[in-house]
Amino acid sequence: MIDFYGNRLNTYKASLHTHSTNSDGSYSPDKVIELYKGQGYDVLAFTDHGFVTKTAELDGKGMTLIQSLEMHPKSPSPNSPWHLVALNVSDQFMYDSQREAQSLIDYAVADGAMVICAHPYWCGFTSAQIAALKNISAIEVYNTSTRYIGRQFSMQTWDELSDMGHVYPVTAVDDMHSSHDLFRGWTVIAAADKSIGSVMDALKHGRFYATMGPEFTRLSYKDHVFEASFSPCCEVIGLTNPPRGFCVAVEDKDGYGTGTETLTECRIKIPVNEQSDRWFRLQIKDEKGRYAWSAPIVIPAGQ
Ligand SMILES: [Zn+2]
Ligand SMILES: [Zn+2]
């Protein structure tokens, strides 16, 4: 359960970027289901490259399967085409890799899908390039499959987008292709139940957070005070428009080498920004170095 800004909701562990033998993954869809079910996942999206894995043909073993794919239209980057995860496409969805990116995104959204910009730091997409896309709903902040080349985190790209007024929630994903990508990043969805309707409603309305391990049990913002409760963490930082920030806990905060405190809650008073909207998000890290990230909230100027 989570108290998500005043709503008590169930939490569902989701793998929202997963490959299979339907593209370049090493496991069959049935094996992928078995693996993720075995680790307590509730929701699984197959996101094969340019291929819609039909969920009606699979037994989710109790997990909610989201019919999805990863799309690769041409991008403005010399390094890579776009990598865009489209969650919840219909049986009628026709993928055309030659279609221009914005047109493809608009088509997917009209089909009922939610489109997420995958692993921007890996591909070298700049925040300005992503900001030009309309109709995307989230950014991947963590991607296990790129940790071997040091490009698993996309926090800076995410925050630059927020600075530009493009404030997105984030997912953490395995982008699983083979065994070494398993179970290191996932998305926690806050919803009344795990029907596909409730799950997609929660995703489309930002009721989720990204994690590599730590769990939030409460997120709250009221009267300029942000509060959160979470599993034990030794680094707790509130990020906001630069150059400010809010340090609740960080290793050797006082510089005396006295070690690190472990917290399970925080309370941050956020000053009013008179001139412009403020975004705010909480980032926590446990003793194993695993992060969790809350979605940013926006506090309107002067309020
Ligand atoms: Zn990709
Ligand atoms: Zn992928």
Q: Domains in the chain, please, with CATH?
A: 2-211 (3.20.20.140), 216-299 (2.60.40)
CA 204 – ligand 2 centroid, Å: 20
Write out pLDDT tens, residues 26-44.
999 999 999 999 999 999 9
**Facing residues of 170 across strands?**
139
Of 136-145, 227-236, 272-281, the poorest mean pLDDT is in 272-281
Backbone angles phi, psi at 44, to 5 degrees: -140, 130
Give the whole-angstrom CA distance, residue 33 versus residue 60.
6
- Mean of pLDDT values over 274-292: 95
Write out pLDDT tens, residues 199-241.
999 999 999 999 999 999 999 999 999 999 999 999 999 999 9
Find the length of the chain: 303
Q: Which residues, in sequence order, are CB contacts of 220 under 8 Å at separation 6+?
A: 3, 5, 6, 226, 227, 228
Question: For residue 169, is the peptide bond before it cis, meaning its omega torsion is within 30 degrees of 0?
Answer: no
Sole residue written with tokens 């999206």: 45
CA 11 – ligand 2 centroid, Å: 24
Alpha helices in 144-255 (DSSP H): 155-163, 196-204
Q: What is the pLDDT, as a whole number, of residue 275?
A: 87
CA 38 – ligand 1 centroid, Å: 25
Write out pLDDT tens, residues 82-133.
999 999 999 999 999 899 999 999 999 999 999 999 999 999 999 999 999 9
CB-side neighbour CA atoms (13 Å) of 129: 19
* DSSP 8-state assignment for residue 62: T
Question: Nearest ligand, CA of residue 84?
Answer: 1
Q: Do β-strands 43-46 and 170-173 pair in parallel, antiparallel, or remain unpaired?
A: unpaired
CA 47 – ligand 1 centroid, Å: 9
CA 115 – ligand 1 centroid, Å: 13
Q: Where are the beta strands (DSSP E) in the chain?
A: 2-4, 7-18, 43-46, 64-71, 84-87, 114-117, 138-143, 170-173, 186-191, 208-211, 216-222, 225-233, 235-240, 245-249, 263-269, 278-285, 291-293, 297-299
> Residue 253: pLDDT band by 50, 70, 90 thresholds?
confident
Q: Is the pLDDT of residue 17 over 80?
A: yes
Ion ligand 2: protein residues whose beta carbon lies under 5 Å: 70, 175
